[in-house]
Structure 1
Amino acid sequence: MFSPRLLITRCLLFLIFALISNNHASADDGYRLWLKYDRISDNTARTAYTKSFNFIALSGNSDILNNAAKELQTGLTALLGKQISVVKTPVGNQNGIILTVSTSAAPGDGYSIQMQSGNTVITASKDAGVLYGSFALLRHLQQHLPLEKAVGQTSPKIQLRMLNHWDNPEGTIERGYAGSSLWKWYELPETVDPRYTDYARANASIGINGTVVNNVNASARFLTAEYLHKVAALAGVFRKYGIKTYLSIHFAAPKTLGGLKTSDPLDPEARKWWIEKTKEIYSIIPDFGGFLVKANSEGEPGPQDYGRTHADGANMLAEALAPFNGVVIWRAFVYKADPNADRFKAAYDEFATLDGKFAKNVIVQVKNGPIDFQPREPFSPLFGNMPRTPLGMEFQLTQEYLGFATHWIYEAPLFKECLDADTYVTGKGSTVASIVDGSLHHYPLTCIAGVANTGSDRNWTGHPMAQANWYAFGRLAWDHTLSPEAIAREWTQLTLTTESRAVATIGDIMLRSREIYVDYNTPLGLSRPWTGSHYAPEPWQNRSSRPDWTAIYYHRADTLGLGFDRTATGSNALQQYRPEASRAWLDAETCPLPYLLWFHHISWAKKLSSGRTLWDELCHRFYTGADSVLWMQKQWAGLKTSIDPAIHADVSGRLAKQHKEAIWWRDAWVLYLQTFSKRPIPAIHPKPERTLEEVKRSVNTYLMR
């Protein structure tokens, strides 16, 4: 029999344990992304919405429409704290949501939201449009905005809005920094993880309608019947959210998988093999989207192995896909190991002369810049130079050159910088965006792709704030006129907090984060400062199996100065742009500082527009960038009471790591470049605590992991 004191003690312990358990259970682990649907704390907004939403009326019975109604029901019930029912017909004028499909509605994937007879009506010409409109309404409510401001019509500016996953069959992800692959190939197709549905929901909520499930450095295994049935299980989940499934293919599959003597795209047997394989794919995945191809790049096989062109290879696959309305997405990321060439020029040199030679169901996918997803690049000169061939945009969400999952980088300004760039191909206003969306050249197919930053980590993206890059990509893929500021505010309100002061502070950090990173990493147009891991600073790296896989190839540091001369006195890469576009970069005296070393080799003593010499300006940028991470830490620390404790602690730890590594990169660059400049670090800046040799040893230690 318990004594009263013992009973009280045990009750208190139980209460403490319960409180701890509840706090742990309520911690935000980031899994819900921007679809949190927490109960609206703004009483005025919640009262107004509660009066407006009493039911959801759904006419139709497709998987996509049912998911639209289900999402609204789930979201409204949680946001308003009251149960919302789904009915087949409107309940008089009792204020509800009516979902309708009409051929007279917005074209394509577009939708409209209107107020009619006291009801909120979401109308689209396709089921997917109704789904997008439902998510848009929930997004509006999550931000506590007046209901009347949700009224309007919108359609996506780009047709194919895709994520490209660089996932491998053994579960690894090339350039993946958030755990292993989402796709559990060893369990599929028998076991379908519920997380696949949440992935599809997240994509549909921002208008993404395509997924390439495997790495562009593709294994032919994905074309076997075994793996096609695994992919079909994923496609079965995705199609219920309006998402088509695509595969990266291994170009040599007719030989490696089919046993043929050749994979020559003009060989009848090779063509027949692809036709039969494509028929097999569509028999298993009826709504299959098509193929993504990396060929004759970085060791991957391709048509040039047989003396054929990229158009020959793409058109062979296009022929096989055409009966099923499938598309070929052929990557323009191609460059050869020529010590006398400029990799900057490679994509243009390979593809511009092929304009008009691709089949009508082929899209050439171009990286935003001419090198390789650098923290800042000029736009690729291919944009504007292939008016008869649809050009798709390829952005990278996963932070291959942006600090992996350790550094907080908001990428929307990078995306917008490229999309808003003017090519002048038909005069002023010929932006990259107008090319990608087809409005300038009237492309029949339009595409934008983001290399995914998702993985098996519970919060999807490793760094919690990297979720914003996935979100921003989807929003810009739908409407590239949106501003990075608006998207940052929207994402923060959906994901972190609606407290106005905190929203403003977080937005400020996000909008400055990319420039801060550039300052301590690649200021003034430096590029490719590290190889191998793509992470550790190695500006001294000069050994590789090919010259363009070294750091010195890109920065060209010597005793005279720094930078890659791409004017007529150098590689003349600027000739690939229209004169009006290149004019701003042509003269070192007037070239904007962010692009100076991209196009010019500048003397260490050269006085820049900032009033500093090149050397002093570099030191200023490296030191200011590293110091600015301290500012990020301070701003974030001040939000402790406004952000979920688990999220706040996670980001705080990553910012501490980011500052440590910013100093690492700063010291590596400054000490290395000083061996050429022979100039002192300006007295205003503290001297590095390590020698160059000590920094090199730290890098070697990192690379040995």
Structure 2
Amino acid sequence: MLLRSLLLLLVLVGAAPRCRADDGYRLWLKYDLIADAGLRARYRAAAQFIAVEGETEIAKTAAAELQRGLQGLLGQPVPVVAKAAESNRRGIVLSVGPPANVSGSSGSRDGYRISAQGNTLRVVGGSGAGVLYGVFALLRQLQTGQALGGLKLSSSPRIQYRLLNHWDNPNGTVERGYAGSSIWKWNELPQRLDPRYTDYARANASIGLNGVVINNVNASARYLTLEYVQKVKALAGVFRPYGIRLYLSVFWAAPKVIGGLKTSDPLDAQVKQWWAAKAEEIYKEIPDFGGFLVKANSEGEPGPQDYGRSHADGANMLAAALGPHDGVVMWRAFVYKANSNGDRFKEAYEEFKPLDGQFSPNVLVQVKNGPIDFQAREPFHPLFGAMPRTPLVLEVQLTQEYLGMATHLVYLAPLFKECLDADTQTKGPGSTVAKVVDGSLDQHRLSGIAGVANIGADRNWTGHPMGQANWYAFGRLAWDYTLTSAAIATEWTQMTLTHEPQAVATIVNMMEKSRDIYVRYTTPLGLHHIMGQNIHYGPEPWLAQAGRPDWTAVYYHKADSVGLGFNRTATGSNALALYSPGVQKQWGNANTCPLNYLLWFHHVGWRQPLSSGRTLWNELVTRYYTGADSVTWMQQRWASVRPTVDAALHADVAARLAIQRREALWWRDACVLYFQTYAKQPIPAPFAPPTRTLAEVKTLVDLYQLK
């Protein structure tokens, strides 16, 4: 009897569905069986075969990806046939057509059109890459449960160069990386290609990214040696079938460090020849190499100014080396001098604005979204709209250097949109940053956008599971910046977490509010750069000594007995004058300046009434307290979707939200207690004063900074 019972138990266990915890590796490319049987049947009827017309290497990749996706979603294999089947069968035809057949902008070769024609669903791309993007768009329709009947969908990228910038180093570390070590295993390359490289390429292609800068902007010269060029060549071979070109960050002093020259002067004939020969060597190995990204004369990095030359001189020399090839130079504008009496806000503008029109045609200047450094909220960089004769690349940060790293849930699409939608007003209303970046405002041939990657060797790629949404959102906005952050969050949630409608709505609502919540409990009202030094984690508004004055907190918040904030009007640093008159009018009056930017531009009295009806002090405290309390709301919202989300993934996010709540209280107490020493006012009702002292809070910084 016992043996029979054991045998029955084994049979039942074997027959039970095997549920595997979701470790996050598949990202949004989860081709799991569609649970709705009726919907699955309709999709099956429409996808009985796949045919490819006008094959290219990338089109073959598209067919394989479509076959893989359909088999998982529909639960049955879909054959790839040599040509479209007879008219009584319904299937999907992939074809490469002339760009004119695909609606869109200057990037129409990457564009696609999906349409139902008789019994076939046709995916037409202006190139093999266009077909691949169309396939991923079609799979996205299926993953999110959209109807295929009468489908008419066309899209082209609004921006030409859509890149991830990795800050990875040869030793396997990642600067500002919070998801483990680098995914590039340099000691194994070129002989062994980790399968993860292919999955990485798939993920990037699925959201329309077409370029990867694989190494840190604080570059090592080793990447330009033939040894490393061979390693890079191996990676390029993995990326190529997915329409992704590879780029390198280059070390300016390489001609001296590895070339044996006595100088790296960009106007020196030998230096010019060295770079030309190096470019030739790279293109011989990697014919579709994308070009160079350069950080020069910034934060101690060498550059052309070491020889009395300008950024344009340096960029143009590299542009000439790349000239015989199809490559570009992306020259970063992140420069600032150690000037305790100046304003870091103005540095990049003052160095680059005079150079407008002096750069070669294959040079793009890469500008961060804001004038300081990837803060939780910044006004748009004043260079946008100020260099009409130079194509500008918008650089944003996916890795959460100043946003709680991999422990805080912060959905960044609203931040990206805030910058892209900002109106420079340089050519009248509607002169948005997006139109500067896509080249349409000033009719530029080249356009680009770059995101500093949040990817590492962690199994789930991004450390925080919800960090995947920022990678996804960046790609979708790089392709089409008119998409709303809510629409992108909805797609990602349905493809990654759950299809249950109420749970999707709850998660999207939480994601949409997360960035503003973070700002409220860390840097409300336009405060900025008051985080801990070195690793930029946690609060340290009292920081007054650092390696340079503009790495301190007091340099930025200017707290004193009178008030708080950096006066950037005409009576202060006058940084506001870098913007167009319309923007100056919008932000120039402390009484009408939007509260989110108030302390960016004004030193405001503690007792000054604000548009909220509260004084500055009371509004500051209110935002810190309600921001910290809102993390509890996020915890409650996340708890409510537990039945619909994978248990392991849900537990991971719940644990990180608990950390976020603890650290939100740390931020609240640290900042309120510190600024209270200047304001000399009580904590307003109904908020209870912190239970710990400022001295006690300061000891937490020592623990986190490992001092």
**TM-score of the aligned structures, taking structure 2 as reference length:** 0.97
Could you tell me how far apart the structure 1 residues matched to 2:14 and 2:658 are? Answer: 33
Residue pair 2:97, 2:125 contacting (<8 A) in 1 also: yes
Could you tell me how far apart the structure 1 residues matched to 2:680 and 2:150 are? Answer: 61
The one-character-per-residue Cα deviations of 1:112-165 (angstroms, maximum 9, x if unpaired) are 011112100011121100000000000001111111464122110000000000
**Residue in 2 aligned with 1:233?**
234
The one-character-per-residue Cα deviations of 1:84-121 (angstroms, maximum 9, x if unpaired) are 00011000121100011112422320010111121000
**Residue in 2 aligned with 1:42?**
36
Residue pair 1:42, 1:144 contacting (<8 A) in 2 also: no
Q: Give the AA of the match of 1:47.
A: A
2:49 to 39, 46, 55: 55
**Residue in 1 aligned with 2:593?**
591
Q: Partner of 2:324: helix, strand, or coil?
A: helix
Q: Partner of 2:642: helix, strand, or coil?
A: coil
Residue pair 2:116, 2:150 contacting (<8 A) in 1 also: no
The one-character-per-residue Cα deviations of 1:531-589 (angstroms, maximum 9, x if unpaired) are 21111211111111210011111111111110000000000000000010121110000
Residue pair 1:137, 1:150 contacting (<8 A) in 2 also: no
**CA distance 1:254–1:121, shift in 2 (3 Å):** same
Q: Partner of 1:108: helix, strand, or coil?
A: helix
Could you tell me how far apart the structure 2 residues matched to 1:350 and 1:12 are? Answer: 78
| 2:545 aligned with 1:550 | no
Could you tell me how far apart the structure 1 residues matched to 2:685 and 2:355 are? Answer: 55
How far did 1:286 drift?
A: 1.1
**Residue in 1 aligned with 2:680?**
678
Could you tell me how far apart the structure 1 residues matched to 2:298 and 2:7 are? Answer: 67
Residues 233-632 of structure 1 aligned to structure 2 (within 5 Å): 233-530=234-531, 531-632=533-634
**Residue in 2 aligned with 1:654?**
656
**Residue in 1 aligned with 2:215?**
214
Could you tell me how far apart the structure 2 residues matched to 1:47 and 1:371 are? Answer: 53
Q: Give the AA of the match of 2:500.
A: E
**Residue in 2 aligned with 1:121?**
122
Could you tell me how far apart the structure 1 residues matched to 2:313 and 2:398 are? Answer: 31
The one-character-per-residue Cα deviations of 1:616-636 (angstroms, maximum 9, x if unpaired) are 111100000000000000010
1:79 to 56, 73, 78: 73
The one-character-per-residue Cα deviations of 1:379-403 (angstroms, maximum 9, x if unpaired) are 0000001111101100100000110
Could you tell me how far apart the structure 2 residues matched to 1:185 and 1:464 are? Answer: 26
**CA distance 1:16–1:181, shift in 2 (3 Å):** farther
The one-character-per-residue Cα deviations of 1:481-536 (angstroms, maximum 9, x if unpaired) are 00011111111111111110001000100000000000000000000012211112
How far did 1:325 drift?
A: 1.5
How far did 1:15 drift?
A: 7.3
Q: Give the AA of the match of 2:344.
A: R
How far did 1:18 drift?
A: 6.6
Q: Give the AA of the match of 1:489.
A: T
2:97 to 91, 94, 102: 102
Q: Partner of 1:536: helix, strand, or coil?
A: coil
Q: Partner of 1:704: helix, strand, or coil?
A: coil
The one-character-per-residue Cα deviations of 1:390-435 (angstroms, maximum 9, x if unpaired) are 0110010000011001000000000000000101111011000001
The one-character-per-residue Cα deviations of 1:616-673 (angstroms, maximum 9, x if unpaired) are 1111000000000000000100111110111110100000000000001111101111
Residue pair 1:562, 1:601 contacting (<8 A) in 2 also: yes
2:24 to 13, 30, 35: 30
**Residue in 2 aligned with 1:161?**
162
Residue pair 1:392, 1:449 contacting (<8 A) in 2 also: yes
Q: Partner of 2:644: helix, strand, or coil?
A: coil
Q: Which structure 2 residue ranges, 5 or more long, are not aligned? A: 103-107
How far did 1:284 drift?
A: 1.2
How far did 1:20 drift?
A: 11
**CA distance 1:9–1:376, shift in 2 (3 Å):** same
Paired residues, what number?
699
**Residue in 1 aligned with 2:175?**
174
**CA distance 1:13–1:685, shift in 2 (3 Å):** farther
Q: Partner of 2:416: helix, strand, or coil?
A: helix
Q: Percent identity?
A: 63
1:666 to 662, 665, 668: 668
How far did 1:12 drift?
A: 7.8
**CA distance 1:556–1:13, shift in 2 (3 Å):** farther
**TM-score of the aligned structures, taking structure 1 as reference length:** 0.97
Residue pair 1:45, 1:145 contacting (<8 A) in 2 also: no
- Decide which moves more: 339-348 or 41-50: 41-50
Residue pair 2:115, 2:150 contacting (<8 A) in 1 also: no
Could you tell me how far apart the structure 1 residues matched to 2:79 and 2:564 are? Answer: 66
The one-character-per-residue Cα deviations of 1:267-289 (angstroms, maximum 9, x if unpaired) are 11111110011111111111100
Q: Give the AA of the match of 1:73.
A: Q
Q: Which structure 1 residue ranges, 5 or more long, are not aligned? A: none
Q: Partner of 1:637: helix, strand, or coil?
A: helix
**CA distance 1:14–1:221, shift in 2 (3 Å):** farther
How far did 1:59 drift?
A: 2.3
Residue pair 1:397, 1:469 contacting (<8 A) in 2 also: yes
Q: Partner of 1:324: helix, strand, or coil?
A: coil
**Residue in 1 aligned with 2:647?**
645
- Decide which moves more: 676-685 or 585-594: 676-685
1:693 to 680, 691, 695: 695
Could you tell me how far apart the structure 1 residues matched to 2:168 and 2:518 are? Answer: 27
Residue pair 1:59, 1:100 contacting (<8 A) in 2 also: yes
Could you tell me how far apart the structure 2 residues matched to 1:105 and 1:178 are? Answer: 42
**CA distance 1:203–1:338, shift in 2 (3 Å):** same
Q: Partner of 2:473: helix, strand, or coil?
A: helix
Q: Partner of 2:359: helix, strand, or coil?
A: coil
**Aligned-CA RMSD value:** 1.4
How far did 1:45 drift?
A: 1.8
**Residue in 1 aligned with 2:105?**
none
How far did 1:66 drift?
A: 1.1
**CA distance 1:20–1:226, shift in 2 (3 Å):** farther
Q: Partner of 1:394: helix, strand, or coil?
A: strand
Could you tell me how far apart the structure 2 residues matched to 1:8 and 1:278 are? Answer: 74
Q: Partner of 1:238: helix, strand, or coil?
A: helix
Q: Partner of 2:124: helix, strand, or coil?
A: strand
Q: Give the AA of the match of 1:105.
A: N
Could you tell me how far apart the structure 2 residues matched to 1:273 and 1:507 are? Answer: 52
**CA distance 1:620–1:20, shift in 2 (3 Å):** farther
Q: Give the AA of the match of 1:573.
A: A
Residue pair 1:296, 1:302 contacting (<8 A) in 2 also: yes
